[in-house]
Chains A and B, each alone.
Chain A
Amino acid sequence: MIWQIDFWLLVVLIIAALLALEVRDLLAAVAVLSAYSFLAALLFAQLGAIDVSFVEATLGAGVSGVLFVLALFCTRRRYEK
């Protein structure tokens, strides 16, 4: 285990999470959320939990992004206050 990889993955993970909360365009928020899931999958793989990482990469970064985009097309794209 290399602590530099862990550290920078965690930093980018937190940045992606904050960005997914803050961004106004919901389609961009879905894309950032997929990136967040993939970073989490990389972190799980780094910790040695390959099966959990596999589930996170397929479900979190793959299917849930598609389902979010589909749900988004049923509503409006921008978040309004």
Chain B
Amino acid sequence: MIERYENVIIDIVCSVMVPLIQLFALYVVVHGHYGPGGGFQGGVLFAVSIILLRLCLGKEASHKKFPPKLAAALAASGMLVYMLTGLAPMAAGGAFLDYGHLPIPGVSGAELRFLGITIVEWSIAFSVCGTMVLLFDVLAEGMR
């Protein structure tokens, strides 16, 4: 069971570090098109910030900020969005995961595939982040 340990150093360091890690995670996901990074790494970084929150705030307060059910929902819905992104081009006459045939009006060609990559990266980020927080929660609940 994770419990809160009263210490002003831990509180201040965590309150400074957690927003910075979350901002860096969002930057990594968004910047995946132009540099190293992407959905997987950004999702893991966001999950690390949530785990740090769990460790320094204790169970009750951090479950109020990020409930475990939200983690499971994020993991499943990210996977669902990925699957739907793969299936949508099939409805429009393309192949599975062929982003060139996504049924989005107004864009076509390379921009459509750019958009498909963006959707897929975000869904991977949500799925991985949810799964990592879920693993941590399950292992911490099993502790006694």
A binds B: yes
Q: Judge if B74 is at the interface, Cβ distance under 8 Å.
A: no
Q: Is the CB of B40 within 8 A of A71?
A: no
Instruction: Give Cα distance in the complex from A51 to B140, angstroms.
Output: 30
Q: Judge if B109 is at the interface, Cβ distance under 8 Å.
A: no
1/0 per residue B31-48: CB within 8 Å of A? 000001110110011011
Partner of A51, one of B38, B132, B142: B38
Partner of A55, one of B40, B47, B142: B40
Stretch of A1-9, A13-21, A25-33, A61-69 on the interface side:
A61-69
Instruction: Give Cα distance in the complex from A9 to B51, angstroms.
Output: 30
Q: A55-B41, A58-B45, A63-B44 are in contact. Are A71 and B36 (CB under 8 A)?
A: no
Q: Would you list which residues of chain B between 46 and 90 have a CB under 8 Å from chain A? A: 47-48, 51
Cβ of A2 to closest chain B Cβ, rounded Å: 21
Partner of A70, one of B28, B37, B38, B136: B136
Q: Is the CB of A54 within 8 A of B41?
A: yes
Q: Is the CB of B36 within 8 A of A51?
A: yes
Q: Judge if A74 is at the interface, Cβ distance under 8 Å.
A: yes
Residues of chain A within 8 A (CB-CB) of B23 are: none
Size class of the contact patch on chain B: 10 to 19
Q: Would you list which residues of chain A between 28 and 81 have a CB under 8 Å from chain B? A: 50-51, 53-55, 58-59, 62-63, 66-67, 70-71, 73-74
Number of interface residues of A (CB under 8 A): 15
* Closest chain A residue, CB of each to CB of B128: A59
1/0 per residue B103-144: CB within 8 Å of A? 000000000000000000000000000001001100110111
* Closest chain B residue, CB of each to CB of A69: B139
Instruction: Give Cα distance in the complex from A58 to B135, angstroms.
Output: 16
Q: Is the CB of B48 within 8 A of A62?
A: yes
Instruction: Give Cα distance in the complex from A67 to B138, angstroms.
Output: 10
* Closest chain A residue, CB of each to CB of B51: A66
* Closest chain B residue, CB of each to CB of A62: B48
Residues of chain A within 8 A (CB-CB) of B135 are: 67
Residues of chain B within 8 A (CB-CB) of A71 are: 139
With A63-B48, A70-B136 given, name 4 new contacts (CB 8 A): A53-B36, A63-B47, A63-B132, A66-B136
